[in-house]
């Protein structure tokens, strides 16, 4: 009977075990590398998507993670990301934007360009401004109602001069509606566009929240620019 070489069998088993351990280690390292690459790619994609700027045609709305930039041939402005254009009621000379909280409209901005606002439009406040190279500089705010007349309890609107702007004041209303008006002028603002042409702008803001304030109109007008 041939002798049994026990030490040879052990030697082969040891070599085989070493190979298995090396292969296992290599597979573990390869797995970690693969997971690392996938994780890095996922994080990089998230970062790119959160900081990307997307241009949408129509009135060229540019969206980012925190603001919207609304551009038309006549003007542009910035607002927070709750705002959007309302194309179904906008035209070539009337531009409407709304800020929503779920299904509720909380804020609205309407801009008429080279078109008179309907006669029924009257405001309770005025944002007095002056133009400087196509930019709007605030002169006075919207804190006070334009009704300073003892006869102001009547319901019909009345043309008044308030905060150095002449406009149609809604004397008996408590709605927070703001006209943007040029100091020493009216709420129909003539401005020179970038192409040298002159256009008229009527800017109307409504705050429909329970506790209205001037925060949104102040923010919008600080970025509003004639184009």
Q: Which two tokens stand for residue 167?
A: 């406009």
The stretches in the chain having pLDDT less than 70 are: 1-65, 149-154
Give the CA distances from residue 5 to residues 1, 8, 14, in Å, rounded to whole numbers and listed in that order.
Answer: 12, 6, 15
Q: In the prediction, which pLDDT does 20 show?
A: 58
Q: In the prediction, which pLDDT does 179 show?
A: 98
Q: In the prediction, which pLDDT does 148 show?
A: 77
Q: Which residues of 10-44 are buried (b: 16+ CB within 10 A; e: fewer)?
A: eeeeeeeeeeeeeeeeeeeeeeeeeeeeeeeeeee
Q: In the prediction, which pLDDT does 19 show?
A: 64
Q: In the prediction, which pLDDT does 6 show?
A: 47
Q: In the prediction, which pLDDT does 56 show?
A: 37
Backbone angles phi, psi at 6, to 5 degrees: -65, -35
């Amino acid at each position: 009977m041939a002798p049994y070489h026990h030490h040879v069998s052990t030697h082969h088993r040891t070599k085989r075990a070493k190979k298995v351990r090396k292969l296992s280690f290599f597979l573990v390292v390869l797995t970690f590398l693969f997971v690392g690459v996938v994780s890095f790619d996922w994080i990089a994609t998230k970062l790119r998507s959160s900081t990307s700027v997307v241009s949408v045609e129509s009135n060229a709305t540019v969206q980012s993670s925190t603001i919207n930039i609304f551009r038309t041939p006549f003007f542009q402005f910035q607002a927070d990301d709750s705002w959007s254009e309302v194309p179904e009621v906008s035209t070539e000379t009337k531009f409407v934007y709304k800020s929503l909280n779920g299904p509720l409209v909380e804020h609205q901005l309407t801009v008429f360009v080279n078109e008179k606002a309907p006669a029924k439009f009257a405001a309770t406040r005025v944002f007095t401004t002056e133009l400087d190279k196509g930019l709007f500089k605030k002169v006075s705010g919207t804190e006070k109602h334009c009704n300073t007349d003892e006869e102001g309890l009547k319901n019909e609107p009345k043309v008044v001069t308030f905060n150095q702007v002449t406009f149609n004041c809604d004397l008996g209303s408590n709605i927070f509606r703001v006209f943007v008006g040029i100091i020493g002028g009216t709420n129909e603002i003539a401005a020179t566009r970038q192409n040298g042409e002159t256009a008229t702008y009527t800017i109307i803001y409504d705050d429909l929240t329970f506790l209205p304030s001037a925060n949104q109109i102040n923010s919008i007008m600080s970025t509003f620019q004639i184009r």
